[in-house]
Amino acid sequence: MSLLSTKHLLGINDITLDDINLIFKTADNFMEVINRPIKKVPSLRDITIANVFFENSTRTKISFELAEKRLSADVVNFSSSSSSVTKGETLIDTVNNILAMKVDMVVMRHPAPGAHQFLARHIDANIINAGDGTHEHPTQALLDAFSLRQKMGDLNGKKIVIVGDILHSRVALSNIYCLQRLGAKVRVCGPPTLLPKHISSLGVEVSHNLKESLTWCDAANMLRIQLERQEDKYFPSLREYSLQYGVTLPMLEKLDKEIVLMHPGPINRGVEITSEVADSEQSIILNQVENGVAIRMAVLYLLAGKAND
Amino acid sequence: MSKSYIIRDSTLVEIGNSLHLQKVDILIVDGTIVEISSKINADGKEVVGNNLYVSAGWVDLRCHLTDPGNEHKDSLENLLDSAAAGGFTSVVTLPHSEPPISDKSSVKYLTKSAENHVVNLLPTGVLSATENTENLAELYDMNNAGAVAFTNGDQAVSNGLLKKALLYTKPFGARVITHPSDKSLEQGGLVNESDVTVHTGLKTSSSLAEYLNISEQIEVARYCEASLHFSAISTEESVNLIRTAQSEGVKVTCDVAIANLCFSDQEVLSFDENFKIYPPLRSESDRQALIAGVNDGTIDAICSNHCPQNIESKQVEFDYAEYGSLALQQVYPWYLKHLSNDIELEKFIEVVTVKPSNFLGQESSSISKGMKANLTIFDKDKVWKFDSSNNKSTSNNSHEWNEELTGGIVAVFNNNLSNRY
């Protein structure tokens, strides 16, 4: 059995192209599994996984839980909308308490960037990052690239634009690393107040012009406006944001080619994209969700293999 | 009965001294240097090492004060012991204890508590009362009680308050220190804004926040025709602005924290909370500019920026960790490991002895016969472990905890007292 080069999945920046390709290959197999009448394999029946979510999540949490259950793992869930710090218990204590119940893997979402790196220094279990603040969301990037590859084939040389709030997004950073590893050309597009000043140092193009970026790209990943992560206002109103950076059907119809539309969800309909676009043929938003389960099964399966060594 | 010590076979480092960079023995009797020569035959406790150097006692212009109020992070006694073990015989403390040092009695609490210690504690007081940050604190009274300077530490100082403070303190010659930073530009950033930290997703703070405020405060100092000291500068532009202002005759001085000279923002890629310090670690180009600023004399002093934090406030996620790192005991090992190729030993000694002493208006101690012994003796080859047996602080917030360090302090002499390690 081939395995990943790392013990944890902390971020795409920590894994190799070989790891990504292996995850995709494994996910291809699991895609077949989850489309069977009996969508379950016994691979992780000796493994207990804790889903520890310190931030609200619907689809990521369900996706991980489904992936775990389809691999026959035992699953426990811990959710807290506030961080452990505000409750007076440290992250290490919270997770160690869970591990004391003989948990093998921890899937964690946490509002603080680097929380998983911190945890990895203090506990022994495999850790999977389900989103750490404004840093990384590796499984989202993997399922995004996997979905694009399903739709467009090899991503080498393909042009992908990531639109919106890059500054507060963990999806953007992970997507940039992942797509670049796969040979795609990446551009970010958004208002200058929502782009990190040094973002071009990652080797991405920077644009503030959505229409021109749609003409340039083969696929557009429309990020969710993270109003909950903005302490200051970075633009005057959602209406004005949408006027400049929202995708409408007439805009797509004016293009001389058909581009692929993505969104990590949940969509603010009428802000990042209109309902017509979200529900159009060009949108692969629901494919992303479906593929998310297969990708997470692949990651869990490969990392658990490492844990059993 | 008299106390005698002989420092053996030690290279004397003091620019201007006729014995500069010569190997000497030094005899100290009852706190006074009574003989310096190549070989002394006398009775006394011997200070020996493998590769010894001796300089005037070191002076730190910036360390954080946790007593009163946060004794669980560090006590005053432990702070002074950390200073001594790091080679410092004088330390200037920031005023933000709880409550802050804001009146005569709190200044006296510090000076009284530090009596009979080998380290001189030189307290600063706050510039402005905490309840109204635009009103001056009782600076004259605190000055008379022994406060060596006035500062609001890392808190913002408005240009209006700074102008008042610079003008008001002129008649009694008190020093004003600021750490400039425009809080509206910092926007709560935890790390430097750069092409390195863009990988972390951490909230960033642009160097613009510091140097823009420095450029404004230089103009305030120019207008008031007053002296102003910038504490813990961290950016290339800050060095350039201060260099230019100095050449134009504006009376501005500055210091830099040892960590900002030794490390760049590359360190935060590991999310090691011990590198969450303030001011934040900047880009490599900033680090190089700071080194150049020390070498060309723009920067007057290297300070420790020593900041003890208890484990509960430090061993948490980077976002939630308090700022600060221990540094007093690491200054010399860090110099050897990270700076000795770029900053000559005699320059390093100058910026931890005579130049900060001059800033404080204190007579610089001289290593010569008949002078009071205020000395730091350090061994370039000493290898020691930074662990609970050697750490003098109550806290252990250091990225080098339990690691072996090269270069150590062997003894300090001051106030007719000595500590040996």
Q: Which pLDDT score is estimated for A56?
A: 86
Q: Which pLDDT score is estimated for A230?
A: 61
Q: Which pLDDT score is estimated for A307?
A: 44
Residue in B197, B203, B271 closest to A117 by CB = B271
Q: Which pLDDT score is estimated for A2?
A: 41
State whether B271 and A110 contact (CB < 8 Å).
no
Q: Which pLDDT score is estimated for A96?
A: 86
Backbone φ and ψ of B349, nearest 5°: -65, -40
Work out whether strand B417-420 and strand B404-414 pair parallel, antiparallel, or are unpaired: antiparallel
State whether A83 and B193 contact (CB < 8 Å).
no
Domain boundaries, chain A: 12-136+289-307, 138-284
Mean pLDDT value across residues A191-220: 97
Query: What is the DSSP code (8-state) at residue A254?
Result: H
State whether B200 and A112 contact (CB < 8 Å).
no
Helix (H) or strand (E) holding A116: helix A115-122
Reported as a single tens digit per residue, the pLDDT across B374-389 is 999 999 999 999 999 9
- Beta-bridged to residue A219, according to DSSP, are A160, A260
Q: How far is B192 from chain A (nearest CA, A)?
A: 11
Nearest to B410 by CA among B51, B20, B41: B51
Average confidence score pLDDT of chain B = 96
Mean pLDDT value across residues B287-306: 98
Lowest mean pLDDT among A256-260, A263-267, B35-39, B243-247: A263-267
Q: How far is B286 from chain A (nearest CA, A)?
A: 16
What letters, b where the CB count within 10 A reaches 16 and e where it falls short, cover B376-387? bbbbbebebebe
Q: Which pLDDT score is estimated for B283?
A: 98
Q: Are the C-beta atoms of B342 and A135 separated by less than 8 Å? A: no
pLDDT at A228 over 90: no
CATH 3.30.2010.20 holds for A12-136+289-307: no
CA distance B255 to B353: 13
The encoded tokens of residue A148 equal 């694009």
- Topology, domain B58-359: TIM Barrel (3.20.20)
- At A225, the pLDDT band (50, 70, 90 cuts) reads confident
Q: Which pLDDT score is estimated for A308?
A: 46
Q: Which pLDDT score is estimated for A92?
A: 86
Helix A91-99 crosses helix A115-122 at what angle (to 10 degrees)? 50
Helix (H) or strand (E) holding A151: helix A138-152
Mean pLDDT value across residues A278-293: 95
pLDDT at B169 over 50: yes
Q: Which pLDDT score is estimated for B95?
A: 96
Q: Which pLDDT score is estimated for A211?
A: 96
Q: Which pLDDT score is estimated for A3?
A: 83
State whether A201 and B198 contact (CB < 8 Å).
yes
The encoded tokens of residue B341 equal 């190729």
Mean pLDDT value across residues B63-88: 97
- At A58, the pLDDT band (50, 70, 90 cuts) reads confident
- Topology, domain A138-284: Rossmann fold (3.40.50)
Reported as a single tens digit per residue, the pLDDT across B102-130 is 999 999 999 999 999 999 999 999 999 87
Q: Which pLDDT score is estimated for B38?
A: 95
- Beta-bridged to residue A128, according to DSSP, are A9, A107
Domain boundaries, chain B: 4-54+368-420, 58-359
Q: Which pLDDT score is estimated for B359?
A: 96
Query: What is the DSSP code (8-state) at residue A26?
Result: H
Reported as a single tens digit per residue, the pLDDT across A87-105 is 667 888 888 888 888 899 9
Query: What is the DSSP code (8-state) at residue A54?
Result: S
Q: How far is A126 from chain B (nearest CA, A)?
A: 18
CA distance B206 to B181: 10
Q: How far is A76 from chain B (nearest CA, A)?
A: 23
Mean pLDDT value across residues B307-323: 95
Question: CB contact, 8 Å: A196 with chain B?
Answer: yes
Nearest to A160 by CA among A248, A81, A261: A261
pLDDT at A30 over 70: yes
Reported as a single tens digit per residue, the pLDDT across B252-268 is 999 999 999 999 999 99
Quickly count: other Cβ atoms within 10 Å of residue A35's Cβ: 10
Would the pTM count as exceeding 0.90? yes
Mean pLDDT value across residues A195-221: 97
Q: Are the C-beta atoms of B351 and B302 separated by less than 8 Å? A: yes
CATH superfamily of domain region B4-54+368-420: Urease, subunit C, domain 1 (2.30.40.10)
Q: Which pLDDT score is estimated for B129?
A: 80
Question: CB contact, 8 Å: A299 with chain B?
Answer: no
